[in-house]
């Protein structure tokens, strides 16, 4: 049986192309400019095999002419033009791409990649125009032609007199509608913006006559409108330039031009990869966190270009959350775009690029840490929390990748240290990596819990960010050394005194039992402390939830309330202890008073709220009189 061809309802098809492919109207200009650039590239290719032709890059350009009076926008190119047959095949058949055919027939040379592939971009013009006229003359034709269409009712082609080779596309811009402003496509400023956004790196100049108000010659305050032809695009993308030709200033200028931030980036990373997936990237590590960085409004992502044409402003898939501060762009010729160029067909290439980029960012951060500590600390001040979130999130999946990027304040060094530095300072008999949590370094320094560890000469890491303890709990160990809070039950110190302590605890058991009865379920236990020297009392916590974690979780806006298993530790060598012993059995009121006071004092030291401040001040007054 003879196979029959599918028929398409061309009117509906065109309607679909015009109304369903692109989410933003302004991309019509990107499509027309890309076609113009392809048309010039085709002359370049033709010149490679045709001796009668020379390709002098400087004589090729694209020009935009907005005309508010006539409501037209004209896009001119000095490219290869179209024959009558090409007009019929390429602009008369939807989804027929002359450029795609050209690409498969010619060996594409680096730097002159043809952009068009789907055969639909041109029709995007009908998103903003009621009528489109194409005037063209092919390099291979003596005659010029005019193609006219109002969209759905088809098109006409008529011969015209035309001298120059190339194409001129005249869009009759639609009238404004209630919610649609088409005037902006006749506005010089808006057109400039669209070109900058999508077509900045088209390699031929995109020109436009721009009206600018300038000081009148010979006057001091008289201005006049001057029309000047300007080139709107940068043309040669910095990422295609040779790294050795670029200075730090070039990268900084690029950072500023692209509005990646108002700060000076701390580092740039310039990547050219010619592997399974070819891509170029310029990434920046900013100096300051944007004002909304630690909020939901912040959107991570890198600009994604395909052959120098912007595809996505913020491609989130290129950056993991823990490196969400990185700014910059990626350009690849190997992306499989979908028809709208707003998405990718599949993300295999993107995954390879992303993986590669993660590695490079980490390398750069480590090298910054090694070579320029001051800058790294600036970076860590701005984005350290994000790295710590990275250690904690996804069930600690990335902790190993990130652990060497962490910095914490050290009690001994009095500055920020890495975990590697900490471990390298550890004396042989030190079992654990010690840390203490609190609101500030100054407050932690004064915590009674730190006394015994500090006295032993061990270094303590100060945790002042809310995320710190959570991240460390996820990390568990660094170089086989476990983390241990100075408030934890077993500090791995005082092995020698264990027997003595046990006896001591037993002999005071009765007193502690009585104190526990006074406090009820406010504490899990009352014990003799192993960590106190000069202070009479301290609170610690048994189990996984520390006092700091209780504070943080309970301060969160949701109603989740948790309780650490608090232990009231008493310094049995302190004279207060004698007073407690004296009260026990003789004066129950006094024992209650002292116990409550000591408990509340311990809460205060920890920065935890006192449950009943009035009762506390009454107790204080009682001992004064
Ligand atoms: N300015 C131009 N000069 C020469 N030929 C052009 C021009 N504009 C369009 N064409 C021809 O018309 C064809 C169809 O253009 P269209 O923009 O619809 O699709 P495309 O550029 O091939 O693919 P895509 O949809 O991926 O942009 C092109 O492939 C090209 O052959």
pLDDT digits (tens, 9 = 90+) for 303-343: 999 988 898 999 999 999 999 999 999 999 888 888 888 87
pLDDT value for 151 = 86
- Kindly state if the Cβ of 168 falls inside 6 Å of ligand 1: no
The answer to whether the beta carbons of residues 336 and 349 sit under 8 Å apart is: yes
Does the residue 392 lie in any domain? no
Does the residue 389 lie in any domain? no
Query: Can you give the residue range of the structural domain that contains 264?
Result: 238-378
Same domain, 199 and 164: yes
> How far is residue 305's CA from residue 393's CA, in Å, rounded to a whole number?
30
Q: Is the pLDDT of residue 502 over 60?
A: no
Same domain, 32 and 47: yes
- Kindly state if the Cβ of 116 falls inside 6 Å of ligand 1: yes
- Kindly state if the Cβ of 418 falls inside 6 Å of ligand 1: no
pLDDT tens digits, 359-394? 999 999 999 999 999 999 999 999 999 999 999 999
What is the CATH number for 557? 1.20.120.790
Same domain, 175 and 200: yes
Does the residue 534 lie in any domain? yes
Q: Is the pLDDT of residue 500 over 60?
A: no
Q: What are phi and psi of 250, to 5 degrees?
A: -60, -45
What is the CATH number for 76? 3.30.565.10
pLDDT value for 39 = 97
| pTM for the whole structure | 0.82
- Kindly state if the Cβ of 121 falls inside 6 Å of ligand 1: yes
Number of folded domains that form the chain:
4
Ligand 1 atom at minimum distance from 31 CA: 27
SS3 of the chain: helix, strand, coil, percent, to 5: 40, 20, 40
Does the residue 490 lie in any domain? no
Same domain, 218 and 294: no
Beta-carbon-side half-sphere exposure of residue 333 (alpha carbons within 13 Å) = 16
- CA distance to 53, 78, 204, per residue, from 56 (Å): 10, 12, 11
Please name the residue ranges forming H helices in 139-265. 188-199, 248-257
Count of beta carbons in the 10 Å neighbourhood of residue 19: 10
Highest mean pLDDT among 151-155, 206-210, 605-609: 206-210
Same domain, 354 and 428: no
User: Which of 91, 98, 165 for a ligand 1 pocket mutation test, highest count of atoms within 8 Å of Cβ?
Assistant: 98
The whole-angstrom distance between residue 518's C-alpha and the CA centroid of its chain comes to 53
Same domain, 213 and 198: yes
| For ligand 1, atom 19: residue with the closest CA | 119
As a whole-number percent, the residues of the chain with pLDDT over 90 amount to: 61
Q: Is the pLDDT of residue 240 over 90?
A: no
pLDDT value for 1 = 67
Same domain, 244 and 176: no
What is the mean pLDDT of the segment spanning 97-119?
83
pLDDT level of residue 487 (50, 70, 90 thresholds): confident
- Kindly state if the Cβ of 119 falls inside 6 Å of ligand 1: yes
> How far is residue 435's CA from residue 463's CA, in Å, rounded to a whole number?
7
Q: Which residue has the higher pLDDT, 415 or 108?
A: 415
Degrees (nearest 5) of the Cα angle 335, 339, 341? 55
As a whole-number percent, the residues of the chain with pLDDT over 70 amount to: 96
Same domain, 502 and 475: no
- Kindly state if the Cβ of 536 falls inside 6 Å of ligand 1: no
Q: Is the pLDDT of residue 558 over 80?
A: no
pLDDT tens digits, 591-606? 999 999 999 999 988 8
pLDDT value for 339 = 81
Q: Is the pLDDT of residue 223 over 70?
A: yes
Please name the residue ranges forming H helices in 542-612. 547-554, 575-583, 588-606
Same domain, 17 and 156: yes
pLDDT value for 250 = 93
Span from the CA of 16 to the centroid of ligand 1 (angstroms):
18
> How far is residue 13's CA from residue 25's CA, in Å, rounded to a whole number?
18
| For ligand 1, atom 6: residue with the closest CA | 35
């Amino acid at each position: 049986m003879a196979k029959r061809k599918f028929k398409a309802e061309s009117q509906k098809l065109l309607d679909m192309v015009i109304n369903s492919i692109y989410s933003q109207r302004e991309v019509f200009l990107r499509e027309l400019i890309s076609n113009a650039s392809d048309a010039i590239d085709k002359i370049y290719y033709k010149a490679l095999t045709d001796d009668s032709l020379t390709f002098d890059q400087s004589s090729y350009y694209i020009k935009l002419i907005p005309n508010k009076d006539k409501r037209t926008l004209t896009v001119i190119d000095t490219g290869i033009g179209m024959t009558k047959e090409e007009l019929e095949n390429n602009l008369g058949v939807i989804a027929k791409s002359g450029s795609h055919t050209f690409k498969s027939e010619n060996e594409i040379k680096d730097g002159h990649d043809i952009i068009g592939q789907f055969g639909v971009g041109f029709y995007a013009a009908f998103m903003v125009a009621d009528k489109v006229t194409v005037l063209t003359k092919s390099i291979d034709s003596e005659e010029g032609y005019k193609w006219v269409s109002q969209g759905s009712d088809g098109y006409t082609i008529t011969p015209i007199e035309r001298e120059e080779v190339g194409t001129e596309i005249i869009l009759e811009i639609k009238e404004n509608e209630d919610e649609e402003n088409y005037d902006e496509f006749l506005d010089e400023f808006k057109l400039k913006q669209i070109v900058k956004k999508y077509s900045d790196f088209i390699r031929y100049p995109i020109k436009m006559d721009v009206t600018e108000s300038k000081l009148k010659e010979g006057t001091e305050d008289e201005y006049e409108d001057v029309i000047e032809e300007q080139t709107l695009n940068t043309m040669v993308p910095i990422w295609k330039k040779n790294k050795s030709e670029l200075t730090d200033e070039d990268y900084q200028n690029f950072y500023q031009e692209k509005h990646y931030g108002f700060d000076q980036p701390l580092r740039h990373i310039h990547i050219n990869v010619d592997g399974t997936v070819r891509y170029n990237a310029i990434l920046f590590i900013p100096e300051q966190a944007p004002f909304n960085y630690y909020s939901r409004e912040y959107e991570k992502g890198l600009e994604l270009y395909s052959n120098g044409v912007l595809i996505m402003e913020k491609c989130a898939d290129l950056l993991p959350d823990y490196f969400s501060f990185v700014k910059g762009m990626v350009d690849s010729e190997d992306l499989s775009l979908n028809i709208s160029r707003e998405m990718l067909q599949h993300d295999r290439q993107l995954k390879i690029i992303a993986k590669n980029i993660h590695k490079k960012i980490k390398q750069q951060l480590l090298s910054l840490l090694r070579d320029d500590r001051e800058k790294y600390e600036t970076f860590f001040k701005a984005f350290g929390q994000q790295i710590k979130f990275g250690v904690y999130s996804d069930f600690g999946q990335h902790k190993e990748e990130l652990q060497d990027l962490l910095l914490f304040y050290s009690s001994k060094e009095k500055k920020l240290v890495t975990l590697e530095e900490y471990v390298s300072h550890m004396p042989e008999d030190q079992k654990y990596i010690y840390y203490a949590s609190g609101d500030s370094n100054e407050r932690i320094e004064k915590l009674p819990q730190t006394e015994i560890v500090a006295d032993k000469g061990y270094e303590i890491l100060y945790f002042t960010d809310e995320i710190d303890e959570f991240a460390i709990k996820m990390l568990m160990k660094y170089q086989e050394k476990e983390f241990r809070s100075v408030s934890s039950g077993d500090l791995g110190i005082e092995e020698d005194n264990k027997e003595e302590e046990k006896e001591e605890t037993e002999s005071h058991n009765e007193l502690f039992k009585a104190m526990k009865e006074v406090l009820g379920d406010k504490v899990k236990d009352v014990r003799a402390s192993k960590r106190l020297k000069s202070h009479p009392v301290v609170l610690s916590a048994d189990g996984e939830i520390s006092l700091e974690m209780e504070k943080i979780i309970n301060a969160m806006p949701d109603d989740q309330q948790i309780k650490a298993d608090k232990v009231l530790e008493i310094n049995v060598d302190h004279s207060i202890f004698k007073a407690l012993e004296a009260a026990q059995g003789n004066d129950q009121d006094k024992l209650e008073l002292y116990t409550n006071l000591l408990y509340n004092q311990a809460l205060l030291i920890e920065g935890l709220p006192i449950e009943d401040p009035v009762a506390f001040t009454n107790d204080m007054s009682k001992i004064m009189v």
